Chains A and B, each alone.
Chain A
Amino acid sequence: MDKNMKILVVDDFSTMRRIIKNLLRDLGFTNIQEADDGNTALPMLQQGDFDFVVTDWNMPGMQGIDLLKEIRKDDNLAHLPVLMVTAEAKREQIIQAAQAGVNGYIVKPFTAATLKEKLDKIFERIS
């Protein structure tokens, strides 16, 4: 796993972005940028050479699930691995995210170990 990969963390709460950034930094990732919803994230993804997206679901503006769908629709972004980290815990939603092509799904509250495990799994499958 390339520790220099460029990661976008999308969450409307700055504290949650900060927590995820800290956990990622602990895992050795330092090239991290932030966005507060899908509408901010999508242009950043289209312009920047991101390697990985961690996104919340429930955000004002564009929600995480719609961001995921937009990513999968865009030829340049479709390959991007997307990890959802969200409080949304309904089975229907998890199924919906899977069908939309999510690479991993973590429910909040979550632990550092869970984040590491899902990251490992995602990049193991990709490589």
Chain B
Amino acid sequence: MSEQAHNISLEQARELVALLEAGNQKKANEKLDEVYNRRNDKLFTSVGQLTRDLHEALQDFQLDPRILQLTEDELPDAQNRLQYVIQKTEDAANRTMDAVEACLPLSDDMHQKIDRIMPQWQQLMDNNIELSEFKSLCHGVDDVLKTCGNNMPQIHSLMTEVLMAQDYQDITGQVIRRVIQLVEDVEKNLIELLKLFGDEAQEAAKGQPKEVNKDQAEGPIIDADKRDDVVSGQDDVDDLLSSLGF
């Protein structure tokens, strides 16, 4: 519709004046309404168009209402979850090491006592033992048996403790799986956002070379079999160093 159609024309104004001069108030009112409504139509159309545009823009930007949820709740939540994984694995490692450190002196104790009686025991087995030595051997054996009898149940319960400390794997595995799911969701939404900005941005992003810092710390290599810039184990390290004259 042209601008002309919505502005009151000179012709319409004259008709209106003519109607009023003729005392035809009713017709004049109708004429005025007609002009007024046409202007209103345009306003409604424009507002309608704007509303639709706004709605579509919002739709496009939201794409997935999860974006908001992702940024507001789930990403900070993921950080907490990963912190929890660190805490859990640390706790498990310490629990295991506590138990192992408590085990070692118990087994050393038994080992030492066995070592102490071994020479006399060997004499006994060779049928070559004095009575006094035999008595001393009996005390030694008694000591070994009592020590073992005491230490073994302790070692058993410490080993059970080590076993139980491994339950972190199940718990952290579940948490990590959820974080992986979240990362996938974020990736999907980022791709959609990229699509929205057209192929140019996508191409530009693709064109960016992945940053490679050959001598920067990277942490544990998780895909060593797919890479040729990393060593595959200690033997590789030793070979490399000896090739450098180490």
Binding site for B on A (CB under 8 A): 13-15, 18-19, 22, 57-58, 63, 65, 87-96, 98, 105-108, 110, 114
Cβ–Cβ contact B244 & A91, under 8 A = no
* Cα A34 to Cα B217 with chains together (Å): 21
* Contact across chains for A94 and B231 when beta carbons are under 8 A apart: yes
Q: Which residues of B (222-238) have their CB < 8 Å from a CB of A?
A: 224, 229-231, 233-234, 237
Most chain B Cβ neighbours within 10 Å, of A87, A93, A95: A93
- CB closest residue in chain A, given B227: A90
User: B214 touching A107 by the CB < 8 A rule?
Assistant: no
Interface locus among B44-52, B59-67, B90-98, B130-138: B90-98
Chain B residues closer than 8 Å to A107, beta-carbon distance? 231, 233-234, 237
A92 to B101, CA, bound (A): 37
Given A58-B218, A105-B241, A110-B234, list of 17 further CB < 8 A pairs? A14-B94, A15-B93, A15-B94, A22-B97, A22-B101, A87-B219, A90-B214, A90-B231, A91-B229, A91-B230, A92-B215, A96-B215, A98-B244, A106-B237, A107-B231, A107-B237, A114-B234
Instruction: Kindly count the residue-residue contacts between A and B in the assembled complex, taking CB atoms under 8 Å apart.
Output: 69
Chain A to chain B: the 9 pairs with minimum beta-carbon distance, closest first = A58-B217, A92-B214, A15-B93, A87-B220, A89-B230, A96-B215, A92-B215, A89-B221, A89-B231
Q: Could you list 22 examples of A-B contacts with CB < 8 Å?
A: A13-B90, A15-B93, A18-B94, A18-B97, A22-B101, A58-B218, A63-B217, A88-B217, A89-B224, A90-B215, A90-B230, A91-B229, A92-B229, A93-B214, A94-B231, A94-B240, A94-B241, A95-B244, A105-B241, A106-B234, A107-B233, A107-B237
Instruction: Give B19-58 as 1s and 0s: 1 = Cβ < 8 Å from A's Cβ atoms.
Output: 0000000000000000000000000000000000000000
Among B90, B231, B244, point to the contact of A15 (Cβ < 8 A): B90
By size class, the interface of chain B is: 20 to 34
Shortest distance from the beta carbon of B59 to any chain A beta carbon, whole Å? 43
Q: How far is the CA of A14 from the CA of B224 in the complex (A)?
A: 26
Complex CA–CA separation, A58 to B229 (angstroms): 18
Chain B stretch 57-105: residues in CB contact (< 8 A) with chain A: 90, 93-94, 97, 100-101
Closest to A125 in B: B246
- How far does the Cβ of A82 sit from chain B's closest Cβ, in whole Å? 13
Closest CB of chain B to A92's CB: distance in Å? 4
Distance of A105 Cα from B231 Cα, bound (Å): 12
Tell me the bound Cα distance from A122 to B187 in angstroms.
48
Least CB distance from A34 to B in Å reads 14
Q: Considering the chains assembled together, what is the distance between the CA atoms of A91 and B244 in angstroms?
A: 12
- Whether the Cβ atoms of B220 and A108 lie closer than 8 Å is yes
Find chain B residues with CB under 8 A from A94 CB: 231, 237, 240-241
Closest Cβ neighbor of A88 among chain B residues:
B217
Chain A nearest CB, measured from B29 CB (Å) = 81
Give every chain B residue within 8 A of A88 (Cβ-Cβ).
217-219
Q: Write out the residue numbers on chain B whose beta carbons fall within 8 Å of the beta carbon of A89.
A: 221, 224, 230-231, 237
State the CA gap A96–B241 with chains docked (Å): 11
Collect the chain B residues with CB atoms within 8 Å of residue A95's CB: 240, 244
**Assuming A89-B231, A92-B229, A110-B234, is B93 touching A57 (CB within 8 A)?**
no
Contact flags B204-220 to A (C-beta < 8 A → 1, else 0): 00000000001101111
- B149-180 interface with A by 8 A CB criterion: none
| Alpha-carbon distance between A14 and B89 when the two chains are bound, in angstroms | 12
Residues of A close to B215: CB separation below 8 A = 90, 92-93, 96
